[in-house]
A and B are shown apart, each in its own frame.
Chain A
Amino acid sequence: MNGPPNPPLPRPALSRRGLLRATLAGAGALGLAGCSTPVGAGLANTELDPGTVEYWNLFGGGDGVRMQQMQDGFRKANPGTGLQAITFTWGNPYYTKLSLATLGDKPPNVAVAHLTRMTTLVRAGLLQELRPEDLARHGMAPDMFNQRAWQAGLVDGKAYAIPIDTHPYVLFYNKDICQQAGLIEGDGQLKNIDGETAFADALDKVKQVTGQYGATHSINAPDTASPWRFFQTMYAQLGGEVLADDGTRIVLDDAKAGRVLAYMRTLTVERKLLPSSIDYQGAVALFANGQAGFHLNGEWEISTFQTAKMPFGMTLVPNIFGGSYAVQADSHTLVLPVQRDQDRAKLDLSLGFVRSMLDQSLTWAEGGHVPAWLPFANSAEYKNLTPQSNYAAAADAAVYDPPGWYSGSGSNFEIIMGSSIGAVEAGQLTPEAAIAQIRSKLSVLANTASPV
């Protein structure tokens, strides 16, 4: 990092050699100054300021705004500690970057991972184990988390991830439109619309009011997660499963899957209660503009509709197929990627950041997520938070994506499932053809030896 010795005093006319030397010296000085910047640290292969927490996440939209508030909260509470937060595109691109950075010995101190993606990261040897005694130092213990989320996050009985929420698929409804459609009860809540017929009838009534659609949900590429979430919610209500034995076996139930797919096709293609071609932004916009009375999506879209200042409520997705209640969900967790030279001070710095995020569960819950941190989830503060607490029960009925090295939120598994399901909803594939496609594409991955 030392620049060459001071350049000789410049002669009246700057010689070529002198200029070159001066430039080099300047570059050296720049490099020195650059050590504290990420670019400088990257070029010089040195560590960012040791007192800084580097934090990677995948939160955009409303989630991104809430997460920034929480980061500011951490900065205010820890004035001496630097925080460098970076947001990446959700899904496979994020996990690819996280894996490569960890393999290249440049991981962040703390990173967000979906619960369903974390196991693969652990098996690839990319995450640190979180030992009970370390967690205890920061006031965290297994029984302080939502048990469904905590248990789902254990790998071989060891903890590697701190769940901060459960984010289920939910039903948004426009209060005014539903009122006109006669779907609101005396107490202002949505009437029960469980069952295949009741749900379709409710959409039909709403469609009469809006003149366009009953509900919207995102179907078009590149969003494959949304069709999968809607399908999985109903398929799990029938008790169906897709993968077994860590993803090495396909246990798709053709009859059940066919029934759900046929129902989805009826809603979109045949009865046009939902648009059969709409992308994510469009599905959100149609609901926000009152062109549909219902919207099926993850609860995180709450911030968008609050900003739109529209009269909306949120509730559990109805139990359409009448089995024991189930809903597709995942959890955001905080993980600590493997560091080459992890010492206790660094570990405590990272865990302190994790704890600070949990302490700000209110901000995160305002963004729609069901808190996993029980001290807050059981508080009156959360119970009074509406409409967020209306669907808190979803956390206990959460169905996570099946285990497998290619499974989890935004994974190849979801892309395969969602592509086929979306094609049925768009009227491009019959349910039978979609099931055949799912089988053939999944079997390639199921038969491939796990690369981790």
Chain B
Amino acid sequence: MTTTTGVLRRQPDHTRPALTFLAPFVVLYVLFIIGPAIYGLVMSFFDTSMVKSGLGDFAGLSNYREALGSSDFWSALWHTIWFTILTTPPLVVLALVFALLAERVRRGRWFFRLAFFLPYVLPSAVVALIWMWLYTPALGLLNRSLTTLGFSEVNWLGDPNWAMVSLAITTVWWTLGFNFVLYLAGLQEIPRDLYEASAIDGAGPWQQIRRITIPLLSRTTTLVIVLQIIASLKVFDQMYIMTSGGPNFSTRSALQYVYDVGFTDYRSGYAAAASTLLFVVILAVSAIWLVMTRRQEQEV
């Protein structure tokens, strides 16, 4: 920093205490994130087997070649991206809509805040079980309701065309609360007097939302979108528990592919290569958003 300039020299040097306080975190970070990541990267160039000691034979780029040439890898990657496409827009838009509504409620506001956030605290296994019951063919609540109303049954989890949509619906219900809370926090930041002033100028509620609320929430929106995309790209639990990647592999996510080849098939080296490729995809998405946010900040 600029501690060398004369004026600031009198300020105490905080570097050492800062490092001391950071040390526990840095040690854990290196031990459990950086270290394994480097080990994984190294492993991806070897034919490592989980049940044999050591790295195994050097494989060069053959693991990467195999992954890039594998239709299973590409379809799993596409499933993850398709899931991200299906979940991100509703999770952003609905969270904003519900946050706006919950904010406008005059009485019992706590109840609505709690109601939207509550599903988020449930563990994935519980959510999966609840929704598997709802989706059960013939006997489940959803299909019973549909047939009672005279519609034909939907094969929620059994039809390859529907399964991902069903998983997306479950996920939206489950994780909406997180984005909802971020938006609620964003709404608190908007100064009240802006609304008062605009009301005096004759702006209606709809105009206020369009001209004041949404523009002033743009930073929150960017944050919500980036976090949501990354969270959706890392999907694993719901699919693993509810469909195990089926029917007919139509919901196998990229992470489950890595899990399947790495742990079930014992092929750690190949799995490391596949997960490195997934890492590159997530990194690329994050980079795009970083660039866009920078531009946004410059414009503001």
Residues of A within 8 A of B (CB): 92, 95-96, 99-100, 103, 124-126, 219-222, 224, 275, 277-279, 281-282, 285-286, 406, 412, 415, 419-420, 422-423, 426, 428-429, 437, 440-441, 444, 448-449, 451-452
Contacts and interface: CB of A to CB of B under 8 A. Distances in A.
Contact of A220 (B47, B247, B263, B265): B247
A441 B245 CA distance: 15
Interface in B241-297: 242-249, 251, 260, 263-267
A412 B137 CA distance: 25
| Overall SS of chain B's interface | loop
Closest 8 CB pairs of A and B: A221-B246, A222-B244, A220-B158, A124-B51, A221-B247, A451-B266, A451-B49, A277-B158
B170 interface: no
B124 interface: no
B136 A281 contact: yes
Contacts of A96: 263-264
A95 B263 CA distance: 9
B278 to A, nearest CB: 19
Given A103-B51, A124-B51, A126-B51, A451 B265 contact: yes
A286 B138 CA distance: 9
Nearest to A441: B72
B49 A279 contact: no
A452 B249 contact: no
B92 interface: no
Interface of B: 47, 49-52, 70-72, 136-139, 153, 155, 157-160, 163, 242-249, 251, 260, 263-267
A282 B139 CA distance: 7
Nearest to B246: A221
A95 B264 contact: yes
B138 A423 contact: no
Contact of B264 (A92, A222, A422): A92
Given A92-B260, A219-B158, A222-B243, 4 more contacts: A100-B50, A279-B157, A412-B264, A426-B247
Contact of B50 (A219, A277, A451): A451
Given A279-B136, A279-B158, A281-B136, A222 B265 contact: no
19 contacts: A99-B51, A103-B51, A221-B157, A221-B244, A222-B244, A275-B137, A277-B155, A277-B159, A278-B137, A282-B136, A419-B248, A422-B247, A423-B248, A428-B159, A437-B248, A441-B72, A444-B72, A451-B52, A451-B265
A79 B232 CA distance: 52
Given A96-B264, A282-B139, A222 B70 contact: no
Contacts of A419: 246-249
Contacts of B138: 275, 278, 282, 286
Given A419-B248, A419-B249, A420-B248, A282 B51 contact: no
A277 B137 contact: yes
B265 A282 contact: no
Given A103-B50, A126-B51, A441-B72, A220 B267 contact: no
B148 to A, nearest CB: 17
Given A286-B138, A451-B49, A452-B49, A100 B247 contact: no
A282 B193 CA distance: 58
A299 B138 CA distance: 24
A422 B250 CA distance: 13
Nearest to B140: A282
B260 A412 contact: yes
Contacts of B52: 451
B292 to A, nearest CB: 37
B160 A428 contact: yes
Contacts of B251: 221
A92 B240 CA distance: 12
B81 to A, nearest CB: 20
A221 B267 contact: no
Contacts of B157: 220-221, 279
Contacts of A412: 260, 264-265
A428 B246 CA distance: 13
A428 B161 CA distance: 10
A125 B266 CA distance: 13
A219 B159 CA distance: 11
A311 B55 CA distance: 58
A376 B242 CA distance: 40
A444 B257 CA distance: 14
Nearest to B138: A282
Nearest to B244: A222
Contact of B248 (A100, A278, A428): A428
B58 to A, nearest CB: 14
A376 to B, nearest CB: 35
A261 B38 CA distance: 48
Contacts of B137: 220, 275, 277-279, 282
A26 to B, nearest CB: 21
A252 B71 CA distance: 21
B147 to A, nearest CB: 13
Contact of B266 (A219, A423, A429, A452): A452
Nearest to A103: B51
Contacts of A444: 70, 72
Contacts of B266: 99, 124, 451-452
B261 to A, nearest CB: 9
